[in-house]
Amino acid sequence: MSSTLNDLLATLDNPAKLHAAMVHLPIAVAFLAPLFLLAAGVLPGRRRMGSFLAVIAYALLAIATLVTIQSGESAYDAIGDVPAAVGTMAHDHGELAERVWTWGLVGAVIAALGLLKEKKKVAIAGVWAGFAFGLFTAGWTAIAAHQGGVLVYEHGVGTPNPVLAQDAGTPDTPADPRAVHFVDHVFPILEDRCMGCHRAGRAESGLDLTSMDAILRGADHGPVLKPGYPEASMMMTVIRGNHPEIDRMPKGKRGPLTDEQTEAIRLWIEQGAVWVD
């Protein structure tokens, strides 16, 4: 079997990937429906043809959304433990997406008015109402899809668990975005701004920040990192300078981290604090 076919079969087997592949169909048809109705409204003699294509696009939208929701639900069931905020976001994403199939059906009925031969005024009103409704539906679909994208690309939902995978990917296996984020944006900060004082040879306050095992052992004041929960992690509290007893980190003349660096570390912890050696 060719490797492309193997890849395809692997995709069908993985609800998260299937969902990611499926989701482009509703987005495409949601944008086509109002375009067809616009054509029906402005092109002389093309009203019924444009309306007909729009009915098909809306019907496809309803069907494609149903299939996409199915794969999305399986993907959601498969994500396992995530921080509560991410779970809520996935839930909201599902609620938004579920509406899209109703919008597809309603749109198909409105666009069907444009097919009327006798009642011309009703037909023209149907075309423009269907067009306006199409803009609304396309916007709604785009927002639901964007939210799904944020879940995958910013929160790592649906991508393989890197704590188990522990590698940053090779050219033929797409890198896990969380591992890439650690290697490109988090490790350099820890190395440059923290490890000078927090490593095996010189562990200020009993804290060694040079490996995940060492970090999870904690320090004099207890645990420093709770993967998935930046707001409950002492590391974030000291980086922001909010700890009642501990100085703001990094200590020393170079001053605190920038907002950007602080956010990079916060996001890393929120996504599960993946460590790649």
What residues line the site for ligand HEC (CB under 6 A)? 193-194, 196-198, 204-205, 207, 219-221, 224, 234-235, 238-239, 246-247, 249-252, 257
CA 177 to CA 274: how far, in whole Å? 10
Q: Report in angstroms how near the CB of residue 110 gets to ligand HEC at its nearest.
A: 57
Nearer to ligand HEC, 19 or 193 (CB): 193
Is the dihedral angle over the CA atoms 188, 191, 194, 196 positive or is it negative? Answer: negative
Distance CA 249, CA 237 (A): 9
The tokens describing 38, both together, are 């616009």
Q: What angle do CA 145, 150, 153 make, to 5 degrees?
A: 115
Q: Measured from the CB of residue 230, what is the shortest distance to ligand HEC in angstroms?
A: 12
Which residues pair with residue 198 across a beta bridge? 203
Rounded distance between C-alpha atoms, residue 233 and residue 226, angstroms: 5
Instruction: Please report how close the Cβ of residue 273 comes to ligand HEC at its closest, in angstroms.
Output: 12
Residue number with CB closer to ligand HEC (120 or 217): 217
CB of 151 to ligand HEC, least distance (A): 28
Min dist. Cβ of residue 196 to ligand HEC (A) = 5
Q: Is 131 helix (H, G, I), strand (E, B) or coil?
A: helix
Q: How far is the CB of 232 from ligand HEC (least distance, A)?
A: 13
Q: Which is nearer to ligand HEC, 179 or 249 (CB)?
A: 249
Structure-token match 């299939």, residue found: 67
Nearer to ligand HEC (CB atom), residue 17 or residue 221: 221
Rounded-to-integer distance, Cα 55 and Cα 109, Å: 7
Tokens at 162, concatenated: 């890197």
User: Are 192 and 255 within 8 A, CB to CB?
Assistant: no
Residues 87 and 82: their CA atoms lie apart, in Å, by: 6
When the beta carbons of 142 and 200 are compared against ligand HEC, the nearer one is 200
The SS3 assignment for 157 reads coil
When the beta carbons of 88 and 211 are compared against ligand HEC, the nearer one is 211
